[in-house]
Structure 1
Amino acid sequence: MTVDTGQISRKTWLAAEFVALFFGLTGLYAVTLRGVGPLPFLLVITVGIVIYLRRTGFDRHSFWRADALRPALPAILALWVVAAVALTATVSVLRPDSLFDLPRERPLIWVLILVFYPLISVYPQELLFRAFLFHRYTPVFGDGPRMIAISAVAFGFAHFIVGNWISVLLSVAAGVLFATRYRRTRSLLVTSVEHALYGILVFTVGLGDFFYHGAAAA
């Protein structure tokens, strides 16, 4: 039995790169740039990711793949309704003053979130944590449960920049859902729609301040 040292070296390099990019840089950002909005950085990263994916054999249909949305939509909506009821009930009990605070007190901000959040935040995040991560690091983590777990943990840790562990833990759970959906559909449209539904739900029911450091001051 021969050992392919080149393959081992590549896997080791990719694993180290993954840790540095998704944990090292995120931790550095949280320490040195706390209070600075991440969207400009995310949009610059998005451009780089798109260029990289287009040059490295990524299936370009996965950038959208609209035909995958209709079959996935019933399951997405059914689970979302359950989550909406559960989150609304939880906020009404634990944070009654915050329930629907954004649409009640700042309806214009809420409408702007409905319109722009999926475009400038959700889709770029899905490009990074699903398309790029799956495409580049499959040689290290495979394309099954380990990849889903890695994607979810990286996605959750990215929310560490917000400054609370509630957002991290909830984002890990959401990351499992989004990564599983992406693995099944290979559609960034599908995962972006699902991600947007949950993100908008969070801002609507009164949990936005746990997920965006500027939500309370917006």
Structure 2
Amino acid sequence: MQSSAYKLSEFFIAFILVPVSFAIEYPIWIKIIIGLLGFLYILFVLLRVEKNKFRIAQNLDWSSFIKRTSLQLIGIAILTTSYVWFVDSSNLYVVVLNKPLLWLTILFLYSFFSVYPQELIYRTFFFQRYQSLFKNKTLFIIVNAALFSLAHIFFRNGLVMILTFFGGILFALTYRNTKSTLLVTIEHAIYGCWLFTVGMGEMLGFPH
């Protein structure tokens, strides 16, 4: 069993040092290599150390998940639609109305190749590796959300940092309550796809 010192070192490198380094100017190919190696390391730990089976749980409370996610989505939709309308109305639903094929393509690629890896790293891996190091459960959730926000620092956009922090709170709570990577991935994909749909995709690096 790996020591707390090892886990803390791993924690600092994977969730602070690497994300901050991505905000610094250096060749993109080096960043890609670092990211891929880091993800492969996390997969190795999940499979060989934490003994994950990557199976869908049979007792998921889909009804409760759908109700809660739907209510939250309604609130998010009202706030973000109002924001885009007042700040930059020309972008409101611009991609889905003008480039529906691109919209569908991006939603698919984003959900499978961005959201799922993020949730493996920031929820599945993070919770299984570090939850035991925190005595205060609320602090653990806040730290998880803050580091999830930090992962988006390379956008250099304060609004992105705020949105991802509050999104991180929601995703952390979902994972804590369900222990399901599937459910938290679906929730993350829904909210992220909505931001792209409503017209906030440009600041999040989506093609437009």
Question: TM-score normalised by the shorter chain: which range applies?
Answer: 0.7 to 0.9
TM-align CA RMSD: 2.6
Q: Which residue of 2 aligns with 1:76?
A: 69
Do structure 1's residue 177 and structure 2's residue 174 form an aligned pair?
Answer: no
Whether the aligned pair in 2 keeps the contact of 1:23 and 1:157 (CA below 8 Å) is: yes
Whether the aligned pair in 2 keeps the contact of 1:103 and 1:110 (CA below 8 Å) is: yes
1:39 Cα offset (Å): 7.5
1:40 Cα offset (Å): 7.6
Whether the aligned pair in 1 keeps the contact of 2:14 and 2:38 (CA below 8 Å) is: no
1:48 Cα offset (Å): 3.2
1:3-82 matched pairs, under 5 angstroms: 10-33=3-26, 45-60=38-53, 64-65=56-57, 67-68=59-60, 70-71=62-63, 72-82=65-75
Q: 1:195 aligns with which of 144, 164, 188?
A: 188
- TM-score normalised by the chain length of structure 1: 0.83
Q: Which residue of 2 aligns with 1:118?
A: 111
1:197 Cα offset (Å): 0.6
* CA displacement, residues 140-185 of structure 1 (integer Å, 9 cap, x when unaligned): 2247212211110111011111121111111000000000000000
Q: Which residue of 2 aligns with 1:206?
A: 199
1:68 Cα offset (Å): 1.7
Whether the aligned pair in 1 keeps the contact of 2:50 and 2:128 (CA below 8 Å) is: no
Rounded to whole Å, the distance in 1 between the matches of 2:114 and 2:152 is 13
What amino acid does structure 1 have at the position aligned with 2:79? A
Do structure 1's residue 144 and structure 2's residue 137 form an aligned pair?
Answer: yes
Q: Which residue of 2 aligns with 1:129?
A: 122
Moved more, 14-23 or 39-48: 39-48
Moved more, 15-24 or 78-87: 15-24
1:74 Cα offset (Å): 1.1
What amino acid does structure 2 have at the position aligned with 1:64? I
- TM-score normalised by the chain length of structure 2: 0.87
